[in-house]
Structure 1
Amino acid sequence: MDCTDAIVADFSAVGVRGCVHVREVDGEAQVMVGADEPVVLASVVKVLLVTEFARQVAAGQCDPAERVRVRAVDRLGGAGTAGCLDDVDISWRDLAAFAMSLSDNTAADMLLHRIGVDTVRDLAVQLGLTATRIVGGPRQLIESMYADVGAVDAARFAEVFPALGPERLARLAVLDPMRTNASTPRDMTRLLSLIWRDEAGPAAACRRVRELMARQACGHRLAAAFDADVVVAAKSGSVIDVRNEVGVAVCPDGRRYAIAVFTCGGWGMRRPDVDAAIGRVARRAVDFLYSG
């Protein structure tokens, strides 16, 4: 069984569909399974968002230490400021850190309003991410879920969600690459490679994005699959049955590999078997490239 067949088997074993692209950051060798298939980005989009923020900081267009208040009306629920019960005064750079390390949706939404969704779209074009489409931020996507099930707010959505079966959920716009923030695994490894080679913007901006990705709190997908001497910086993304992770693994000898793994179809609130499969296919591809 070759590497790609083994990856397909790994996905099949946990009942998901998966698309993968793993490439050398400093070379051309690659492993791909559905590398050019449209995929739902979910919170992986925050890598592009924070890259644009870091670029604006480096260009002097945004003061990273400027304070902003996160109010009740801003909160979207979840981790970080998104789950706070009281107003929070915080800097833009700390919001960026929360968006990356904790996948804080409120932080990401406020950052997007600060830097502008059009600038994020323009950055995707500038970086040659030809298959990447940005339709909006976390608030727009969450509100689309409410609208799709006829819920007026988060409380009502929480009431109706348990009764929605896979067929109804599959029709939600947030799970359709044609109607939500979407890309391809190949576009995402291109973005990562540009960041790691200091080609996605000023060197200081790229370095900041790398630092923030290295601080991701959840390490149960990519990072868990690699030995302790391999440095992994990553960003996960999840929404309902979509579970993704992108990142870069740096081996002890300095060889660097950009990784993008996207899965869908793993119904259930907790699927540690799918999380493990994401790491397993990433490790399998990196080992193949490293040994080759």
Structure 2
Amino acid sequence: MRTRSLLIAALPVVALLCGALVWAALRSAPEPPWVEQLQGKILRLDQRTPGDLGVYIKHLGDDGELDHQAGRYWYLASAVKVPVAIATLQRVDEGVWPLNQRLALRNEDKVDGSGGLAWQDPGSEYDLKTLLEEMLQRSDSTAADMLINRIGEDELNRRIASSMADQGFGYITSLLRVRHELYRELHPDAANLSNRDIIQLASAPLGRERVRALARTLDVDLSELRADNLKQAYQRYYARRLNAATLRAYGGMLEKLARGHLLSRANTDLLLDLMGLDEYHAYRLEAGLGKDVPFAQKTGTQFERACHMGIIDPKSEQPIVIAACVEGAGQEQAAQTLETLGSLVSDTLLH
């Protein structure tokens, strides 16, 4: 009887040990051959091109995972618009908002950047689907801010942390706040710039002319600014990790999207379509992958920063998640680096 009791008492321990052994075996399982092959190619690409390259790739068919500087934070720029879209469609799935819910454009929504909504009259109305399309396909920052302001920054970040990525994302802000935080690195009064001020400042070329325009707008002397060039302001802003994430965290979010863990089937398909699944622009990663490769994607561009994130063949049984960024290089060079990366991925994984 005592022996039987001891055996029963030992069962949980045995189960834990077995589980640990299985987990260890899984973790020690060799990576698919493509991982090492592609890792070497990416390392050589990074070494021979200007700036720094970060890459995260996960093949959802064989669970192979590639990490090249994917654990550090990278500034996302307009790639933040994908989690904004996910948060919006989650509210639709929850029955809080219908997809045809109309939002009225306000002056406080307007911000410079791609797209044309900033030039429309206040009071103009757009449904959620149209705003998602403008934000994702034309990267319209005013459309993005209309959605972010509707969701709320804190709620957006709560959703990112609770469902999209439990760690690895910095705080995501409105696109207007991006400008405020950047210009505050030059002068604290920039926090009070109006939307009109922000849009007008964007007409001044990047560099000293933009700095001078900011000083005139704030009615301060150039000597009162905290830096004499915009590059210093950007570097300080980037260091704060606002609107940044690790590529591993961003890739994990895309994996959840591809697996249908974030949205209903209908809204997953809608989002993938809005991310240009059936379109081809021959730009960055997409140019290297080739026009016959289905690719749901979003780019991001800022001063000395360029990203391209997406899911290759997302509606297949074996989609591939890729998140890649370049920093410290000019836009043309960054685009070429990402195009070359796309070619390496295509040659190694798709042929």
TM-score (norm 2): 0.73
* Aligned-partner Cα distance in 2 for 1:105–1:166: 21
CA offset digits 1:5-51 (Å, max 9, x no partner): 32233234331101100111333112221111111121111111100
Root-mean-square deviation (CA, aligned residues, Å) is: 2.7
1:117 pairs, out of 153, 164, 179, with 153
Pair 1:273-2:333 in alignment: yes
Residue 220 of structure 1: aligned partner: 283
Contact 2:296 2:314 (C-alpha < 8 Å) held by counterparts: no
Contact 2:234 2:303 (C-alpha < 8 Å) held by counterparts: no
What secondary structure does 2:111 align onto?
A: coil
- State the 1:217 CA deviation: 8.2
Residue 292 of structure 2: aligned partner: 229
Contact 1:41 1:183 (C-alpha < 8 Å) held by counterparts: yes
* Aligned-partner Cα distance in 1 for 2:82–2:57: 17
Amino acid in structure 1 at the alignment position of 2:207 = P
Moved over 6 A (4+): none
Counterparts of residues 93-242 of structure 1 (less than 5 Å): 93-127=129-163, 128-150=165-187, 152=193, 153-154=197-198, 155-156=200-201, 158-159=203-204, 161-163=206-208, 165=229, 168-173=232-237, 175-176=238-239, 178-214=240-276, 219-242=282-305
5+ long unaligned stretches in structure 2: 1-35, 209-227
Amino acid in structure 2 at the alignment position of 1:193 = E
Contact 2:54 2:68 (C-alpha < 8 Å) held by counterparts: yes
Pair 1:35-2:95 in alignment: no
Higher-Rg member (1/2): 2
Residue 60 of structure 2: aligned partner: 25
Amino acid in structure 1 at the alignment position of 2:183 = Y
* Aligned-partner Cα distance in 1 for 2:47–2:101: 48
Residue 65 of structure 1: aligned partner: 100
CA offset digits 1:231-271 (Å, max 9, x no partner): 1110011111110010011299853210000111014xxx2
Contact 1:16 1:265 (C-alpha < 8 Å) held by counterparts: yes
5+ long unaligned stretches in structure 1: none
What secondary structure does 2:325 align onto?
A: strand
CA offset digits 1:56-86 (Å, max 9, x no partner): 1121111221222224443212222444254
- State the 1:183 CA deviation: 1.0
CA shift in 2, pair 1:134/1:217, >3 Å: farther
Residue 257 of structure 1: aligned partner: 320
From the two aligned structures, give the one with the greater helix fraction.
2
* Aligned-partner Cα distance in 2 for 1:217–1:85: 28
Amino acid in structure 1 at the alignment position of 2:39 = T
- State the 1:130 CA deviation: 1.2
Higher normalized contact order (CA 8 Å, seq sep 6+, divided by chain length): 1
- State the 1:187 CA deviation: 1.1
